[in-house]
Structure 1
Amino acid sequence: MAIARRLRTGARKLNLVAGLIRGLPAEKALAQLKFSPRRISGEVKKVLESAIANAENNHNLDVDRLVVAEAYVGKSLTMKRWRPRARGRIGRIIKPFSRITVVVREQEEN
């Protein structure tokens, strides 16, 4: 399992990338993220690599049999910024942050 907090993107956009890797074998998920055109996919790839390393080193699991069991996304903090508008008013700009949790498990032999 690995968690990334304060990723500078919205939860909806991050969930699109997380959906690409859910249920895939770890190696295929890494390849999927490597060639994804989404900006945040590089950060998700780092989290997946960390989850694989944690499974190998902390839990002695076989890397070749790892599967992305869960990949879920949540909201984190939001930065509020202001932009001047016409007639002395201001417009609010919301800059969202998100978090992602990736859980890998060893696939059972059939």
Structure 2
Amino acid sequence: MSKPKAERGLADNQAEAIARNIRVSPRKLNLVAGSIRNLPASRALADLTFSKRRVAKQVKKALESAIANAENNHQLDVDKLYVKLAEVGRGIVMRRFHARGRGRSATVEKWFSHLKIVVEEREQAEKPMRDARPGFGKSAKSAGEAA
């Protein structure tokens, strides 16, 4: 006799991947996660591939895992996937010490983070909810009219 199977927390058109204990602070990871939110999965992969940030490789790996989960476990179309959610959580904090002058010490905190990526299958006709970043999504015509 065992427990009943837990209900699936996601909709049928969604898949997720979780990366735990990434050795970077949550603030730094959230900058990279924010850059891929609400983007098509292919565009998000391209952005992460050419990102200069060190943690982008691990975020890309988690995104690829979410895409593979969508394709293999839930039979979703890879070409219609969007990054619905890129959620960053706080992990453990390793505390180390740094020797200072006159016999004193200072603490050094080494933060870890968790990352949860949810991809969703949407129709291509839907306009993606993007770009909240300043300067993006404006055409040259609308930028000229504002001046």
Settle same-fold status: TM greater than 0.5. yes
For residue 48 of structure 1, what is the aligned residue in structure 2?
63
Listed as ranges, the gaps of 5+ residues in structure 1 are none
For residue 87 of structure 2, what is the aligned residue in structure 1?
72
Greater helix share, structure number: 1
For residue 6 of structure 1, what is the aligned residue in structure 2?
21
Contact 2:48/2:56 (<8 A) preserved: yes
Listed as ranges, the gaps of 5+ residues in structure 2 are 1-15, 126-147
Cα RMSD, aligned residues only: 0.8
TM-score of the aligned structures, taking structure 1 as reference length = 0.98
Tell which deviates more after alignment, 99-108 or 44-53.
99-108
Which structure has more relative contact order (CA 8 Å, sep 6+)? It is: 1
For residue 60 of structure 1, what is the aligned residue in structure 2?
75
For residue 107 of structure 1, what is the aligned residue in structure 2?
122
Greater strand share, structure number: 1
Identical amino acids, percent of aligned pairs: 57
When the two structures are aligned, how many residues end up with a matched partner? 110
For residue 35 of structure 1, what is the aligned residue in structure 2?
50
TM superposition outliers: structure 1 runs of 4+ over 4 Å: none
Highest Rg: 1 or 2?
2
Q: Distance in 2 between matches of 1:68 and 1:84?
A: 44
Secondary structure of the residue aligned to 2:52 is coil
Secondary structure of the residue aligned to 1:72 is strand
TM-score of the aligned structures, taking structure 2 as reference length = 0.73
